[in-house]
Amino acid sequence: MLTMNDVLRARRVVAAHLPPTPSWSYPLLDEAAGRRLVVKHENAQPTGAFKVRGALNLLATLCDEVVTYSTGNHARAIAYAAREYGRKATIVMPAGAAELKIRAVEALGANVVLHGANMAGAEAHAQTLPGRLVSPGDEPALVAGVATAYLELFERHPDLDTVVVPVGSGTGAAAACLVAAAVAPGCRVIGVQSAAAPAAHDSWRAGQCVRRDNRTRVDGLATGRGFDGPQAVLREHLADFVLVADDDIDRARRLLALRACTQAEGAGAAGLAAVLARPDLMGSAVGVVVTGANATELELAR
């Protein structure tokens, strides 16, 4: 089980590579939400998403070549960290992965292998390759690294009564829960997922990991199954878990662009979508974590 010591150690590792991300309030966004929001800009990371924090922390402790599987932000995070440490990384992506996402990973110097029709196929192939296999969801060092974002948020805004975290595998929400319990125990952490890919949500409600179909357009939230490590933390600490429609997420992306001068991918806007969909669950000072910026051309056009 992770402790705050792991998070504080991770902060030293991460801070050697990344400055803290900003967190701002925007009056027109507050007006739309009917309360004070603090937007935490993990979309301002060099890879466009918070996952780079976890990757930097995990790879600091590994000395061999790493192998992982991902379609997007996890791939880019591992590739970025491998480059920082001068380490080799191989990323298996499903054969249909978006061209620009493949190129973003290759441009960081990682080796991309296209294999399988979906994430399960890519995962199965990654298991056959040499090197240390990195699971996107079941690595405590990833959670400790990601937790540094919440330490920054609570130190700057100790008055938050709610924080809303988009959930895929659940590392981000688990990290938020651990840090809130230690430094902001009055703050409720609420998870959000797309109703069209509810595996983590349903796992949390069921009290055990379940599998669900992915029918969402929102990449970062579509994992297909619950992950044991994060779910154990969520079962203990998460205050609530909201499902939103993909259309709600698109509206939230639009609001962030127009009222908070910021670009979010679908997953990055899910927190705001949850605030707008379920105001009854939210307090008067709400942290909204914009987890990522990497919208596809199609998403931006919509």
Ligand X SMILES: *Cc1c(COP(=O)(O)O)cnc(C)c1O
Residues lying near ligand X in the complex (CB under 6 A): 49, 51, 73, 166-173, 220, 265, 267-268, 291-292
Min separation Cβ 169 and ligand X, Å: 4
- Comparison of 86 and 300: residue with beta carbon closer to ligand X: 300
Closest CB to ligand X: residue number:
292
Q: How far is the CB of 130 from ligand X (least distance, A)?
A: 26
The two tokens of residue 172 are 């981000």
Q: Which residue's CB is nearer to ligand X, number 248 or number 265? A: 265
The least CB distance from residue 286 to ligand X, in Å, is: 17
Nearest CB to ligand X, comparing residues 40 and 51: 51
Lay out the sheet containing 162-166: strands in order across: 23-24, 36-41, 285-290, 162-166, 188-194, 240-244
* Nearest distance from C-beta of residue 200 to ligand X, angstroms: 7
Distance CA 287, CA 127 (A): 38
Torsion of CA 245, 248, 254, 256, to 10 degrees: -100
Query: Of the two residues 72 and 116, which places its CB atom closer to ligand X in the complex?
Result: 72
CB of 42 to ligand X, least distance (A): 8
Other CB atoms within 10 Å distance of the CB of residue 84: 17
Q: Which helix (H) or strand (E) holds 7?
A: helix 4-15
Q: Which is nearer to ligand X, 43 or 90 (CB)?
A: 43
**Residue closest to 224 by CA, chosen among 191, 198, 251, 261:** 198
